[in-house]
């Protein structure tokens, strides 16, 4: 599979909601059509993206090329999977989708996967996938239906899937679809200061656009600029090339709402980084995120805290990656824990001077 084919179109923003003021609908349709012209053949959407608007736009833009593209959509964990998928097919102007995915493994999600398998047998979907699943849920899902893929967030900052999910996909031969490859736009490099997003923009709630985490990531992006320039790339292209080089990544889902954004992000000549450049990028990222070590006072205080907080504190040894802490907790089968949650907790501890790092 060529690099252009491995860059897929993530169509959440095309739905017109959740990303600030929507672009003109004609621009959004044009973005999808230009992506197709530039060699993109995988398009990922969901009925919740703009209450069906994203699917409707894809249906209109891709209908003439339906046999040349793969369209993936999703079904939620509640409600009737058949009703949901058949409504999606009408909006997509198609008799089938190439991939139907369980959007979130919540509630009665196992029942939904069983229903999706029946719909697959009827020809309404050619393959079944799951999104946002832990490795434990992924293993269980594969017992219920002939699972083909996992979709999860992955970028050069957010690497939780490296611990369990991505290795499991490689082991089982499952496709891995990486979403949020540009950290919700942060890796475009356009934010010099914490942005003020409009009401209704989901990025208002994302922790890395605020406080200490924003500053850490901004430092990384500034240090990546000369690396990108030396390769005649933008930071955006560097970040996507980093993902294309990760073993097991099948498709990198890139969002765009205008032809200009497609030209910036979905370049046909985007190629994986070389091992030397990968090492350089990883060293820059690691250098901006020193790992915390618990103080004696923190160890004493944590003895009376909840199980999850104690679990984290016991592993704050100055060397253990936060992704590994999250994965180890998730192994227990309790509520999942990711590195982002560990970082927020550690920042709170740092404000109370209960942890130390090597950069102090």
CB neighbourhood size of 304 (10 A): 8
**Angstrom distance (rounded) from CA 42 to CA 69:** 6
Of 9, 14, 40, 12, residue with least CA distance to 25? 14
CB neighbourhood size of 78 (10 A): 14
**Angstrom distance (rounded) from CA 164 to CA 327:** 7
36 contacts: CB under 8 Å, gap ≥ 6: 61, 62, 65, 69
Residues classed as catalytic: 49
DSSP code string of 158-212: --GGGTTHHHHHHHHT-EEEEE-TTGGGGGGS--SS---PPTT-GGGG-GGGSHH
Assigned token pair, 204: 């208002």
Phi, psi for residue 293 in degrees, rounded to 5: -120, 130
């Amino acid at each position: 599979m060529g690099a252009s084919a491995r860059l897929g179109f993530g169509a959440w923003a095309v739905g017109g909601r959740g990303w600030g003021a929507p672009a003109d609908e004609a621009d959004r349709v044009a973005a999808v059509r230009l992506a197709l012209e530039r060699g993109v053949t995988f398009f990922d959407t969901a009925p919740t993206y703009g209450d069906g608007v994203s699917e409707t736009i894809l249906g209109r833009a891709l209908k003439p090329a339906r046999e040349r593209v793969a369209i993936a959509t999703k079904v939620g964990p509640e409600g009737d999977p058949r009703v949901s998928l058949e409504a999606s097919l009408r909006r997509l102007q198609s008799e089938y989708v190439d991939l139907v995915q369980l959007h979130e493994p919540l509630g009665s999600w196992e029942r939904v996967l069983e229903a999706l398998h029946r719909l697959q047998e009827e020809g309404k979907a050619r393959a079944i996938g799951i999104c946002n699943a832990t490795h434990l849920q992924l293993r269980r899902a594969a017992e219920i239906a002939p699972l083909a893929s996992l979709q999860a967030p992955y970028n050069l900052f957010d690497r939780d899937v490296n611990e369990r999910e991505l290795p499991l996909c490689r082991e089982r031969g499952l496709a891995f679809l990486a979403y949020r490859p540009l950290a919700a736009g942060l890796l475009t490099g356009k934010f010099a200061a914490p942005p003020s997003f409009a009401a209704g923009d989901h990025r208002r709630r994302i922790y890395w656009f605020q406080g200490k985490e924003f500053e850490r990531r901004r430092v990384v992006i500034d240090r990546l600029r000369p690396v990108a320039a030396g390769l005649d790339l933008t930071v955006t292209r560097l970040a996507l090339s980093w993902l294309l080089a990760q073993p097991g990544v099948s498709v990198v889902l890139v969002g765009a709402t205008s032809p200009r954004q497609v030209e910036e992000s979905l370049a046909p000549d985007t190629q994986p980084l070389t091992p030397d450049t990968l090492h350089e990028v990883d060293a820059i990222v690691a250098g901006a995120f020193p790992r915390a070590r618990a103080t004696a006072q923190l160890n004493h205080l944590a003895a009376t805290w909840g199980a999850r907080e104690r679990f984290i504190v016991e592993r704050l040894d100055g060397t253990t990656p936060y992704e590994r802490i999250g994965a180890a907790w998730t192994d227990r089968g309790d509520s999942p824990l990711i590195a982002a949650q560990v970082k927020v907790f550690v920042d709170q501890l740092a404000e109370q001077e209960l942890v130390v790092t090597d950069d102090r």
